[in-house]
């Protein structure tokens, strides 16, 4: 089992010194990975299904990954997740390849479709296209990251006769983790992903999702060349050793820990101290192994 930390770029962690303190602590404690969250804009005034108040700070994912790369030595850098249909995939492929190069091969590329219609309205992307765009954008980025002569002729993106270099350090490319619990998301993970990422999933929900992935695999063709689908989970709050073992027994490969949604509030020394203490306490799950 690997262990990560979710949420180093938002809420209580949006100032550079605080972000540096947390990512360096996680690196030194031996965590396998650190993960961003993402909302490009937030609905104001707050309304469902937007998850947090509009005053919540979200530092841009790519900027945060690059910043963390410069401050750490070995820890992997995950987008958890990038709202892929809201992005230009050609530009994003370039940005994230740069993160992988500058971090010497530490990028984990987590993607999802998003679920807040007004975010899409603001960016000018039809909400009903989000699934189709995500599926296609994954292949656009894979093509740009791996092909000697990249070309693509899709519904949303077309190109040929171009180069986008440098390509990522990792071979064949940084792992692609597909997030989401809906049946289409599970099928997309099986078809296109190196891994699947379930956010805020307790043991019961995780077991159901893994069963959903197994069912999807019976009727969904997996892209040639992909290996076993890895499973990453953010559980709802801290876990003890027994609970971690129960996740592992279900088939989970990575727990991406978060202290709670309260950390999406304001910053300040007390909040950051609490996150550092959380990292230190939870490191007991793996530091004695």
Instruction: List pLDDT tens digits, range 201-224.
Output: 999 999 999 999 999 999 999 999
Q: Give me the residue spans of the domains in the chain.
A: 2-285
State the average pLDDT over residues 251-267.
87
Do strands 2-6 and 195-199 pair parallel, antiparallel, or not at all (unpaired)? Answer: unpaired
Instruction: List pLDDT tens digits, range 126-176.
Output: 999 999 999 999 999 999 999 999 999 999 999 999 999 999 999 999 999
Please give the pLDDT value at position 133.
Answer: 98
Whole-structure pTM value: 0.96
Instruction: List pLDDT tens digits, range 226-240.
Output: 999 999 999 999 999
Please give the pLDDT value at position 268.
Answer: 59
Per-residue pLDDT at 187 exceeds 60 = yes
Q: Between 144 and 289, where is the model more confident?
A: 144
Structure tokens at 180: 């989401």
Instruction: List pLDDT tens digits, range 28-64.
Output: 999 999 999 999 999 999 999 999 999 999 999 999 9
Task: Please provide the average confidence, as pLDDT, over all residues in the chain.
Answer: 96
Check if the beta carbon of residue 157 is closer than 8 Å to that of residue 138. no
The CA-atom distances, in angstroms, between 63 and each of 37, 79, 104 are 12, 11, 16
CA angle (141, 145, 150) in 5-degree steps: 85
Say which CATH superfamily domain 2-285 falls into.
Luciferase-like domain (3.20.20.30)
Check if the beta carbon of residue 213 is closer than 8 Å to that of residue 190. yes
């Amino acid at each position: 089992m690997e262990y990560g930390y979710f949420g180093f770029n938002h809420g209580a962690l949006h100032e550079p010194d605080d972000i540096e303190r947390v990512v360096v602590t996680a690196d030194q404690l031996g965590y396998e990975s650190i993960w961003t969250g993402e909302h490009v804009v937030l609905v104001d005034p707050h309304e469902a299904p937007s998850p947090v108040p509009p005053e919540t700070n979200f530092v841009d994912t790519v900027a945060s990954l690059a910043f963390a790369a410069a401050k750490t030595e070995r820890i992997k850098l995950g987008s958890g997740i990038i709202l892929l249909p809201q992005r230009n995939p050609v530009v994003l492929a370039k940005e994230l390849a740069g993160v992988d190069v500058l971090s010497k091969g530490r990028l984990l590329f987590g993607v999802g479709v998003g679920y807040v219609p007004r975010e899409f309205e603001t960016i000018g992307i039809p909400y009903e296209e989000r699934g189709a765009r995500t599926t296609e954008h994954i292949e656009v980025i894979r093509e740009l990251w791996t092909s000697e002569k990249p070309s693509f002729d899709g519904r949303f993106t077309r190109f040929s006769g171009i180069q986008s270099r440098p390509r990522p350090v990792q071979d064949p490319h940084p792992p692609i983790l597909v997030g989401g619990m809906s049946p289409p998301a599970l099928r997309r993970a099986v078809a296109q992903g190196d891994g699947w990422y379930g956010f805020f999933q307790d043991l019961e929900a995780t077991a159901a999702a893994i069963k959903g992935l197994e069912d999807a695999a019976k009727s969904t063709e997996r892209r040639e060349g992909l290996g076993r689908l890895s499973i990453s989970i953010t559980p709802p709050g801290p876990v003890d050793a027994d609970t971690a073992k129960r996740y592992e027994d279900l088939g989970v490969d990575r727990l991406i820990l978060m202290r709670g949604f309260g950390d999406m509030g304001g910053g300040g020394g007390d909040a950051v101290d609490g996150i550092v203490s959380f990292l230190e306490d939870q490191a007991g799950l793996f530091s004695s192994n």
